[in-house]
Amino acid sequence: MRAVIFDLDGVLADSEPLWERMTSTHLKERGVSLPENFDYLTSRYMKGRDVHQAELFVKRYFKIKDSLAKIHRERMGVILKLMRRHLRQIPYALQTIKKVYGKYALALVSSSPRAVVEVELKKLKMRKYFDYILAGDEVRIAKPNPYIFLRAAKRLKVKPSECLVIEDSLAGVQAAKRARMTCVVLKTSYTLPIQRRLADSTISSLRELPRYIEKLPIGQLATGG
């Protein structure tokens, strides 16, 4: 294994509750009543997707007549404010990054827009550890398409089979496996059974990751897809 590719939201940044809070706050401000299955909807159809996919889902599902551009401006205003005030790291995130830093090429691949990614990394003091950072608004094709991971591997000058991806979303796991990369799921309260079936392994805490990586042979061929 030569490279480790981290997702950001839900893997390093404890931001998923903030994204969910942003969606609920935005909808309530618009006078929209939240359905009983709101948590499932956000996990299944929004988590791990880029903001444009999420906003399109919000517009269609909740029958919002305003333009996607207006919805985007409203949502970004809410999430940036929440990130600056309330963002925390996932337990052991910075400690884990420091342990693997210098041993492997490190990349951060996120479905979030660059503006949000930069706010998160600054808040968490993690930016300097990554050799390459790719945000969702910098690619034309989002997860679950494998393109975003393949582009990261190319920039790191490693083969897909030499990459380990750490993910927490279904779209992210699907993208990693379609890229023929080894994928580990960080288990959270949002984890779906299908994610555990698709991934190569599951961990309950990031502090398990360094030991897991050390057991992987260099150039291990990722299975599944």
CA distance 199 to 166: 10
Question: pLDDT (tens digit, 9 = 90+) per residue, 27-65?
Answer: 999 999 999 998 888 888 887 777 888 999 999 999 999
Q: Tell me the pTM.
A: 0.84
Average pLDDT over residues 184-189: 92
Question: pLDDT (tens digit, 9 = 90+) per residue, 78-100?
Answer: 999 999 999 999 999 999 999 99
Is residue 189 packed enough to be buried (19+ CB in 10 Å), middle (13-18) or exposed (0-12)?
exposed
Sequence ranges of the domains in the chain: 3-14+88-214, 16-86
Mean per-residue pLDDT of the chain: 92
CATH of domain 3-14+88-214: 3.40.50.1000
